[in-house]
Amino acid sequence: MESPQSPDHQPFFRDGIESPPTSSSFYSGSPATSSITEESSSNTDFSIQRVHDNHELKSSSNLETIINDTTTLSNEHHAHAEELKKENTALRSQIPDLLDAKQKHEERESSLEDQLYELRLDQVFWIDRHERRILELLQCRERLQERSQEYVDLMAEHGESAAETATTERRLRRSCVEKQAEITRLRLEGEGFRQKTPA
C-alpha cells in the first residue's frame, strides 16, 4: 500500500493540468548556480560585442578600400579623358593644314598633267618635224644622185678628162654620203623621241 504524499509534494492542478510547485525555494536556486548564469551571460555579451566590433571594423576597412579604389579609378579615368581631349584638339588643329596640303597637291597634280600633255604635243611635233626632215633629205639625196649622173654625162660630152670626171663624181658621192649620215642621225633621234613619249 502506497504511503500518502507529504503536503509539500501534493500535486497542484489548474484547469485540470498539473502545474509545478510555486514554492520560492524551487526557483531561487543555489548561489553557485546564479553566479555561473551571470558569468555565462556576461561572456555571451562580450562575445557578441566583439563580433559586432570586428564586423564594424571589417566593414569600415572594406568601405575605405572601395572608396580608395573608386577614387583611383575615377582619377585615372579623368586623366585619360584629358589626354584624349588634348589629342583630339591637336588633331583638329592639323585639319586646316591637311586640307591646304591636299589642295596644293591637287593643284600640283593638275599642273603636272597639263605639262605632260604639252610635252606629248611637243614630242609629237618634233617627231613629225624629224620625219619631214628625213623625207626632205631623202629627196635631196635622190636629186644629188641624179645631178651627179647628169654632171658625169655632161663632162663626158664636153671632153672633160677622166680624172676630172672621177674627182667630181667622188665629191658628189661624198655629199650623198654626208646626207645619208644626217638622215641616219635624224632617224635615231626620232626613235629616241618615240621611246620617251608617254603612253
pLDDT digits (tens, 9 = 90+) for 90-111: 988 888 998 999 999 999 999 9
Cα gap 196→45, rounded to integer Å: 107
Answer whether residue 135 shows pLDDT above 60.
Answer: yes
Cα gap 198→84, rounded to integer Å: 49
Q: Which residues, 6 or more positions from 85, have their beta carbon under 8 angstroms from its beta carbon?
A: none
Answer whether residue 12 shows pLDDT above 70.
Answer: no
Answer whether residue 22 shows pLDDT above 60.
Answer: no
What does the mean pLDDT of the chain come to? 72
List the beta strands (DSSP E) in 4-119.
12-14, 17-19
- pTM for the complete prediction? 0.34
How would you classify the pairing of strands 17-19 and 12-14? antiparallel
* Better-predicted residue by pLDDT, 169 or 68: 68
Nearest residue to 131 (alpha-carbon basis) of 198, 191, 196, 181: 191
Q: Mean pLDDT, to the nearest integer, of 139-146? A: 81
Answer whether residue 41 shows pLDDT above 70.
Answer: no
Q: Which three cell numbers stand for residue 75?
A: 582619377
Nearest residue to 199 (alpha-carbon basis) of 120, 141, 135: 120
